[in-house]
Amino acid sequence: MKLVCNQSDLNTNLSLTSRAVPSRPTHPVLANVLVVADADSNIVTITAFDLSLGIRTSFNAEVIQSGTIAMPAKLLNDIVSRLPEGEITLEDETNTEENTGEGILVTLTPRSGSYKVRAMGGEEFPELPVIEDTQPIYLSAASLIEGLRGTLFATSADETKQVLTGVHLKVLPNALEFAATDGHRLAVVETINEGSDDNNDAELEVTVPARALRELERMLAHSAQSEETIALHFDQGQAIFEWQNQRLTSRTLDGQYPQYRQLLPRQFQRELTLDRKQLLSTLERIAVLADQKNNIVKVSIDSGAQEITLSVEAADIGSAVEPMPAQISGDDIDIAFNVKYLMEGLKALPATEIVMQLNSNLTPVIFTPLSGVKMTYLAMPVQLRN
């Protein structure tokens, strides 16, 4: 194999794929990335696979001789990321005297100097899953990114609650619904699916691990145009997202996802309209003290004054109180939240003004943007103790 490519192209694609390389591989070859160079198309493909998450990216290069080789991911990444910008020649030396049988020797030649790396034959590298005989469902990149940004933060990190460690994706005719919950909060985003066509009337529900979807979001932000169409193949515990020459494969999560729509109250006794950025910046200041104690912030709603007051009591450390204006309908009430849950939800809500709806100080509170993206964020209050 011999190819000449741009350092930035190689570095970018290695960075994207290397995130699917396991930190503790169960088999030595999994610590590698598979590099495939095709002289006919002048395309180089890089693949990483931990047997659960697989990432494949491609880029253009001058391929002088086709070949397939498995190279140590971390070492290659560390070398290439430090090389100067410009052309790099990558060549394996299968037929030289230096190749002593202890693997294949690959030489990287930048503008000056050269680096030799031991590699393995590509035939040992496992194949990425393939789903055949299923009709793909087409999703728009813009809708996918919007849904992931509004839900990924609310997934659970608790591996004992497997199904909650993913985002639940519901594909409906001309619409997508994303949902994530960790048991304390819930984020739901509904988007119009502009990637759908007249034949895209299939309905499906699938829960995909948050880890895979974070990589998907990163890849889409890097390589996909907002109007681009992403093909989703789904079958037998696997989901495959494909666009351009990029592919991400992931196992899906087993188990019944909670009936989250039943958690959303339909009627409310109190409603507030708030400036999102002002509320978020106030919470960020208050959180400095909340972090010192129990992460609890109290929100006192005063309909007469048309303002809310945020306060924190951190015993033996200090306290903080800060009011801000709000449009309020309903009776006065004091309610408390985990300040981190509140801030994370507000960061994800894409609007200048938001609506906060609630009934009592111990029932679910709903936050929605006043306009724009159709997103619902549910946060459970915590009990105030005197």
Q: Which domains does the chain have, with CATH numbers?
A: 2-124 (3.10.150.10), 137-261 (3.10.150.10), 266-379 (3.10.150.10)
**Residue 133: its pLDDT value, please?**
76
**Residue 99: its pLDDT value, please?**
44
pLDDT higher than 50, residue 98: no
**Residue 102: its pLDDT value, please?**
62
**Residue 226: its pLDDT value, please?**
66
Please give the average per-residue pLDDT across 275-279, as a whole number. 97
- Residue for token digits 């009709």? 135
The SS3 of residue 175 is strand
Amino acid type, 150: G
Please give the average per-residue pLDDT across 340-344, as a whole number. 95
Q: Per-residue confidence at 96, pLDDT binned at 50, 70, 90?
A: very low
What DSSP designation does 352 have? S
Count of C-beta atoms within a 10 Å radius of residue 200: 17
**Residue 171: its pLDDT value, please?**
86
* Nearest-angstrom CA–CA distance, 321 and 333: 16
- pLDDT tens digits along 232-245: 998 879 999 999 88
- pLDDT tens digits along 207-259: 999 999 999 999 998 776 767 899 999 887 999 999 988 999 999 999 999 99
- Higher-pLDDT residue of 98 and 5 is 5
What DSSP designation does 256 have? P
Cα–Cα nearest to 32, from 106, 100, 84: 106
**Residue 134: its pLDDT value, please?**
81
**Residue 254: its pLDDT value, please?**
92
In order, the DSSP letters of 107-144 are: EEE-SS--EEEEEEEGGGSPPPP---S---EEEEHHHH
**Residue 100: its pLDDT value, please?**
46
- pLDDT tens digits along 364-380: 999 999 987 899 999 99
pLDDT higher than 70, residue 53: yes
- Higher-pLDDT residue of 136 and 300 is 300
pLDDT higher than 60, residue 276: yes
Count of C-beta atoms within a 10 Å radius of residue 259: 7
Q: Per-residue confidence at 97, pLDDT binned at 50, 70, 90?
A: very low
Amino acid type, 278: Q
**Residue 122: its pLDDT value, please?**
92
* Nearest-angstrom CA–CA distance, 257 and 253: 9
* Nearest-angstrom CA–CA distance, 230 and 169: 14
Taken in order 95, 96, 99, 101, the sign of the CA dihedral is positive
**Residue 340: its pLDDT value, please?**
94
Please give the average per-residue pLDDT across 108-115, as a whole number. 93
pLDDT higher than 60, residue 140: yes
Token pair recorded at residue 82: 């430090």
pLDDT higher than 60, residue 196: no
**pTM of the shown model:** 0.89
**Residue 197: its pLDDT value, please?**
54
Cα–Cα nearest to 376, from 280, 265, 278, 267: 265
What DSSP designation does 259 have? -
Q: Per-residue confidence at 268, pLDDT binned at 50, 70, 90?
A: very high
